[in-house]
């Protein structure tokens, strides 16, 4: 029963999710919408469990002074700071809403959550993405080797796109920006659509295998 009940639930939910898009029967739509709401609730519980697991693992590492425990402590402090700041922001927004409804003068102040997001999180994210540019350039240098015809075409297209994207490319030759735009609009778009179609077919096949009980990844571990 431990295996049959999860398989039955997965098949039941999957079938109704599919029927929702291929049927106009109101009862099916109501059941599918209710299942979606249950999915949102389940996802909320999984987020809570994930946060608790994160606290458990990192707090244990901090207490036992394991390797890189300082980074784990910074992670916990940052997480609790943002959680508390988010709760305070929600409370202030509720107070402002009541003030608006009562016609009282509204005092607008930036919350700690907005300050942390705009002046700490956002600059750190921009820094990480800036560092990734160097890793991409290094990986491209190692990967773009003209070993055969396909690799040569990839190398030429990559060089044209990289040069055409920067202002110095237009200064060298005015055709570089046009060439990179053509490559990104036509060959790149066609390749991306082909990959997306293949991925969609794979998702459909995997979904059918889960619904039919052939594949049961949720029973592992």
Residue 88 confidence (pLDDT) = 87
Residue 180 confidence (pLDDT) = 94
Residue 110 confidence (pLDDT) = 67
Widest CA span in the chain = 73
Per residue of the chain (221 residues), what is the pLDDT tens digit? 677 888 888 889 999 888 988 888 899 989 999 999 998 998 899 899 999 999 999 999 999 988 889 999 999 999 999 999 888 888 888 877 777 777 666 555 667 888 888 888 899 999 998 888 788 777 777 777 778 888 888 888 988 998 999 899 999 999 999 999 999 999 999 999 999 999 999 999 998 998 888 888 777 64
Q: Is the CB of residue 89 less than 8 Å from the CB of residue 112? A: yes
Residue 7 confidence (pLDDT) = 86
Residue 190 confidence (pLDDT) = 95
Cα distances (Å, whole numbers) of residue 209 to 20, 32, 68, 219: 19, 20, 42, 14
Residue 94 confidence (pLDDT) = 82
Residue 108 confidence (pLDDT) = 54
Q: Is the CB of residue 181 less than 8 Å from the CB of residue 164? A: yes
As a whole number of Å, the end-to-end CA separation of the chain is 17
Beta-carbon neighbour count of residue 10 at 10 Å? 20
Give Cβ neighbours of residue 187 (< 8 Å, ≥ 6 apart).
Answer: 157
> Which among 137, 181, 132, 130 has a CA at the least distance from the CA of 157?
181
Give Cβ neighbours of residue 39 (< 8 Å, ≥ 6 apart).
Answer: 13
pTM above 0.75, yes or no: no
């Amino acid at each position: 029963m431990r295996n049959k009940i999860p398989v039955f639930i997965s098949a039941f939910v999957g079938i109704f999710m599919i029927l929702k898009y291929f049927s106009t029967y109101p009862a099916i739509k109501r059941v599918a919408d209710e299942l979606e709401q249950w999915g949102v609730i389940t996802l909320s519980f999984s987020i809570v469990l994930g946060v608790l697991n994160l606290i458990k693992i990192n707090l244990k590492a901090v207490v036992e002074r394991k390797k890189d425990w300082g980074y784990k402590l910074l992670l916990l402090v940052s997480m609790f700071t943002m959680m508390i700041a988010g709760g305070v922001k929600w409370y202030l927004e509720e107070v402002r809403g009541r003030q608006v409804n009562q016609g009282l003068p509204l005092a607008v102040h930036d919350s700690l959550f907005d300050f942390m997001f705009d002046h700490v999180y956002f600059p750190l994210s921009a820094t990480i993405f800036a560092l990734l540019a160097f890793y991409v350039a290094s990986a491209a240098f190692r990967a773009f080797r003209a070993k055969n015809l396909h690799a040569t075409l990839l190398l030429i297209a990559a060089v044209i796109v990289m040069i055409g994207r920067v202002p110095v490319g237009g200064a060298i030759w005015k055709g570089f920006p046009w060439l990179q735009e053509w490559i990104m609009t036509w060959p790149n778009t066609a390749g991306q659509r082909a990959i997306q179609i293949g991925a969609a077919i794979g998702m459909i096949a995997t979904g059918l295998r889960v619904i039919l009980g052939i594949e049961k990844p949720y029973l592992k571990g």
